[in-house]
Amino acid sequence: MLTIMLLLASNAFMTFAWYRHLKHRSAPVLEVIVVSWLIAFGEYCFQIPANRIGYGRFTGYQLKIIQECLTLSVFVVFAYFYLGETIRWNYAISFLCIFLAVLFGFWGTALRQRTASPKSSLFQVQRIIPVPR
């Protein structure tokens, strides 16, 4: 669950970095690039730990599938509330197809995860941030 929450936070930063400027089209492009890059740094601060913690419990492919699913979910909320765009039926059907692809990507893994011995989150965090002894 920690992996999912970190990926969700990561996507919030990245969506804001990529699309925030659409409401500020008069801003100079160079300024938009620099500000977006600074916002994107926050994305990396969540994305890298999420992938480090999640890899092993999930495959690399599954981490990417989760990432893309969350990207769409975050973007739908962002586009509706920040950009003021409504979701059309064809967008909803497109997203549904992608979510079905996510289910297909995880098909058959639930049983393997239940039988595998789970690693503790503390151990995984210590692998990322070594604790001095």
Residue-wise pLDDT for 83-132, tens only, equals: 999 999 999 999 899 888 888 888 776 545 544 545 544 444 445 555 55
- Whether 72 is in a domain gets the answer yes
Asked, for residue 110, whether it belongs to a domain, the answer is yes
Give 13-18 contacts, CB < 8 A, sequence gap 24+: 13/39, 13/40, 13/42, 13/43, 13/46, 14/40, 14/43, 14/47, 14/71, 15/71, 15/74, 15/75, 15/78, 16/78, 17/42, 17/43
Domain that holds residue 15: 2-128
User: Whole-model pTM?
Assistant: 0.72
Tell me if 6 is assigned to some domain: yes
Q: Which residue has the tokens 């979701």?
A: 87
55 three-state secondary structure: strand
pLDDT at position 123: 46
Q: What are the beta bridge partners of residue 53? A: none
Asked if residue 42 is part of any domain, the answer here is: yes
**pLDDT attached to residue 133:** 56
Number of domains in the chain: 1
Q: What is the pLDDT of residue 121?
A: 47
Cβ–Cβ under 8 Å, residues 109 and 120: no
At which residue do the structure tokens 């930063």 appear?
A: 13
Whether 133 is covered by a domain: the verdict is: no
Q: If we measure between CA atoms, which residue out of 108, 132, 15 comes closest to residue 70?
A: 15
